[in-house]
Structure 1
């Protein structure tokens, strides 16, 4: 986060909020499984394999779907070059529209598949040297960097960057609160809202200047 300018930081926070929104909707729709937090699904896979192997299919399928989304998004990002951000986000929007259609037509596999692949693809939005530079759907790394930044600030180091990581985490948290609220009150509309959010982010991405060399 700290290597990016203010517009890109705000953009990353908005995308993290979108990820939080979608993950909350997925969590409430999939009996406590996640569509973006694969560490949690990996733990649940391990627990299932150790205690009840028959229940391991769900987390395994979600992990595979997330991996497929990351792979597909990475290939698109490589093909799109300087248009990486809007192209990846257009792919995310398309997958979320598929998920919304899956809920509308009572097709849970399509709904969850679209959500989990969208969250995997989303992580290709910010890259440096061909690798993810800002994880948008998982916050463990952000919290580690937040803690390190706080330590640096307490030690007297200027510009430790902790506020940027705190804002990224806060964005995901606020999005999750909103997603849970909307899922609870209008479950048939929440994925259409997420799709519209992703389309809006495509427009924002198109307005950003090209990434500087990092």
Structure 2
């Protein structure tokens, strides 16, 4: 992130915000499931069996598998189908959220007190796919929901700045982190106004808007290349 405010960085902030918002939507409308925090799911998947929470442990394991599945499917599509269309990752995320919303409405209805677990698996799949939006040489260059890694890089950048570097060594990572948190904050505020299934639908609509942007603007200008 040598250039803080180039087009790729700005788009990463938008998508990180989307990841934060979707993560907040899933967390607030369920019993506290994480669809962006795979470190937490890894620990919960193990420790839940030792703390009399086997249901949460199994849920964490399935969410992790769905997340990885989203990464794998999006990566396969990127290699074989989206060679010149990297916007496909965001489209796949939106498609997964649409499926999640439809499945939840079928299972629980519009006014249900809580979103069902099965739709959350599709949400996790979508977040996994979203994380493949920025790739270089077959590897993710900007992990959108990997906040731990972002903070580590930010901390290292701060050290470089202190040791004679410049603010750009860490500011880009801070803005990526801030965007994710801002998205989560917006999701939390929205959850205070609308009910649980409607929250998932709202996240889907926002994702569709972002996907439209990546398709009509970012992809055509080569931002995601």
State whether TM-score is above 0.5. yes
Contact 1:98-1:110 at 8 Å conserved across structures = no
Quote the Cα distance in structure 1 between the aligned partners of 2:3 and 2:84.
18
Cα distance, 1:174–1:4 mapped onto 2, change above 3 Å: closer
> Is the 8 Å Cα contact of residues 25 and 203 (structure 2) preserved in structure 1?
no
Tell me the CA shift for residue 160 of structure 1. Answer: 4.0
Aligned to 1:120: 128
2:112 counterpart residue number? none
1:204 matches 2:206:
no
User: 1:155 Cα shift?
Assistant: 1.4
Question: Within 1, Cα distance between the matches of 2:93 and 2:170?
Answer: 29
Q: Is the 8 A contact 2:66 2:125 kept in 1?
A: yes
Residues in 2 aligned to 1:14 and 1:130: alpha-carbon distance in whole angstroms: 22
2:85 alignment partner in structure 1: 83
Partner residue in 2 for 1:47: 47
Q: Output one character per residue of 1:108-146: Cα deviation in whole Å (capped at 9) or x when no partner.
A: 244212211101111110001101111111211110111
Structure 1 counterpart SS, 2:12: helix
CA contact (8 A) 2:70 2:129 kept: yes
Distance 2:149 2:64 in 1: 19
- Indicate which of 184, 204, 222 corresponds to 1:195: 204
Deviation, structure 1 residue 65? 1.0
Alpha-carbon offset, residue 197 of structure 1: 2.2
Alignment size in residue pairs = 212
Deviation for aligned residue 1:185 = 1.9
Q: Distance in 2 between matches of 1:123 and 1:38?
A: 12
Asked if the contact 1:35–1:66 (Cα under 8 Å) also holds between the matched residues in 2, the reply is: yes
The unaligned stretches of length 5 or more in structure 2 are 109-114
Counterpart CA distance in 1 for 2:224 and 2:166 is: 24
- Report if the CA contact (8 A) 2:134-2:224 is conserved: no
Structure 1 range deviating more: 159-168 or 118-127: 159-168
What is the alpha-carbon distance in structure 2 between the residues aligned to residue 132 and residue 76 of structure 1? 14
CA distance in 1, matches of 2:101, 2:60: 21
Per-residue CA shift, 1:148-180, capped at 9, x if unaligned?
111111112135431110000000101111111
Task: Please tell me whether the aligned partners of residues 152 and 160 of structure 1 are also in contact (alpha carbons under 8 angstroms).
Answer: no
Hey, which bits of structure 1, 4+ residues long, moved more than 4 A?
none
Check the 8 A contact 1:17/1:171 in 2, yes or no: yes
More helix by share: 1
Cα distance between partner residues in 2 of 1:93 and 1:181: 21
- The superposition leaves residues 44-67 of structure 1 with CA deviations (integer Å, 9 ceiling, x where unpaired) of 112123344733211111111111
